[in-house]
Structure 1
Amino acid sequence: MPLVSLLLITQWLTGCELFSRPASQSPATTEPETPVEATDPSQCPPIETVVCAEPEVKVVERVIERNYEKVVEVPVAKDRMVLGSEESVTVEPGGLTLRALIDTGAATSSLSVLEMVPFERDGNQWVRFQLSAGEEAKPVKIELPIKRHVRVSRPGFDRQRRPVVDMSLTVGEVTHMVEVNLIQRDEFEFPLLVGRNFLKDAAVVDVSRKGVQGKPQLPSFSK
């Protein structure tokens, strides 16, 4: 009886040990582990560097044009007179006061005359013409030697060959001897055009005004 009891107790202890063993240690369910083989580094794919592209930036240039009006103040010398676009001018010889246009675009002064006739005197070329201060005024006959001839072209007209003579022009209190080219013309708005050969170093022109100098004052000569 004691032997039978000992065997029963031994089997019972063995059964408890089987039930208390972890499942991972169970001989029926445990599988042999597969060995891990070492990897050769030379067989690995190369590592590629990925560079992210910078975002495209569009620059839009906007050009704004601005027009500025530049005002330039030109100093006027005290020894220069101011002329308007139209002035009264006395011409010599003749002693006539004519309505003149101050023409800064003309290199020389120009005078409209009547009955212009060239002739020769003492082997030199002269010109005879009549000059009038108005339709009702009596013309004055003038004879002057010809210095040279010039060709003048105007829009809509043929080139003209004009004689050039020396004449004295007086504007205000200023008198200059200048070259004047002569043109025969019956109808004219301004019988005299005062060019740059009179204006240079003598006057400045204010085109917004007329008759600034008033009546010409001829120089007085002491005897």
Structure 2
Amino acid sequence: MRTSPLILLLLAPLIGGCESLHFPWQKSSPAAVEATAPAETAALPEAAQQCPPVQEVVCAEPEVKVVERVIERTFEKVVEVPVAKDKLVLGSVEMVAIEPGGLLLESLIDTGAPTSSLSVGGLKPFERDGKEWVRFKVSVGDEDDALSVELPVKRYVRVARPGFDTQRRPVVDMSLTVGEVTHMVEVNLTDRTSLDYRLLVGRNFLKDAAVVDVSRRKVQGQPRPPAPK
């Protein structure tokens, strides 16, 4: 059996829902239009909730911290080093007795000099018994009171000093006494009249016998040479 097209046209609204059922010859009433308007308006907020409004985001400024830098300074510590009892403590300047001659000289203690050095005047080499000797004068202050000394030459050394010509100096053996310590050491002879000290005591006297405190002067006082035999 065939279904009439008119019947299908009438059944289509029923299948879609009774609320929308109306006939073509019926006009939509204003109440119906007003009823559908709130539904459409209510649907708008729901759609709007799906896409939230754009909000302006303001980033906070980073916090600036001022850090004070403290620099720790390290200071040198002065440590007292014990000195062996059998060693002599000397200052930068000491009174020294020399032999032969028996003179007392204010002398410079120089740890940088390998050998001791004595300022003399009238230095003259000569020969005695086939050996080389040297004659010289030593004085404490006034040349008129200079003491004449003759000693055999042990050897010669060449000494180079900044700003001066190289010197060839004779070396003799002499006895030096500082405090109660007496040593026979090699002494080179030269003209040191332009310097403040006539005698320079080097490492050949200080080695294994004394330590030097450069901040002090004349620690040992007057020298006490051994009594002559």
Q: Work out whether the TM-score is over 0.5.
A: yes
**CA displacement, residues 142-178 of structure 1 (integer Å, 9 cap, x when unaligned):** 1101110000011111000000000000011110000
**CA displacement, residues 52-101 of structure 1 (integer Å, 9 cap, x when unaligned):** xxxxxxxxxxxx99766354543210111111111110100000001100
Q: Choose which of 95, 110, 131 in structure 2 pairs with 1:88.
A: 95
Aligned position for 1:18: 11
Give the superposition deviation at 1:184: 2.7
> Following the alignment from structure 1 to structure 2, what is the Cα–Cα distance between the partners of residues 74 and 19?
119
Which amino acid letter does the alignment assign opposite residue 170 of structure 2?
P
Aligned position for 1:195: 202
> Following the alignment from structure 2 to structure 1, what is the Cα–Cα distance between the partners of residues 156 and 179?
29
Q: Choose which of 162, 166, 171 in structure 2 pairs with 1:159.
A: 166
Aligned position for 1:129: 136
Give the superposition deviation at 1:20: 4.9
**What's the secondary structure of 1:22's corresponding residue?**
helix
**What's the secondary structure of 2:156's corresponding residue?**
strand
**What's the secondary structure of 1:18's corresponding residue?**
helix
Equivalenced residues, count: 172
Q: Percent identity?
A: 65
The structure-2 alpha-carbon separation of the partners of 1:123 and 1:136, relative to structure 1 and needing over 3 Å to count, comes to: closer
> Following the alignment from structure 1 to structure 2, what is the Cα–Cα distance between the partners of residues 67 and 140?
55
The structure with the largest helix share of the pair is 2
The root-mean-square deviation of aligned C-alpha atoms, in Å, is 2.7
Q: Which runs of 5+ in 1 are unaligned?
A: 1-10, 25-63
Aligned position for 1:28: none
Aligned position for 1:182: 189
Aligned position for 1:6: none
8 Å Cα contact 1:113/1:129 also seen in 2: yes
8 Å Cα contact 2:126/2:133 also seen in 1: yes
8 Å Cα contact 2:118/2:192 also seen in 1: no
TM-score normalised to structure 1 length: 0.69
TM-score normalised to structure 2 length: 0.68
Aligned position for 1:75: 82
Structure 1 residue ranges (4+ consecutive) displaced by more than 4 angstroms after TM superposition: 14-17, 64-68
Give the superposition deviation at 1:23: 4.4
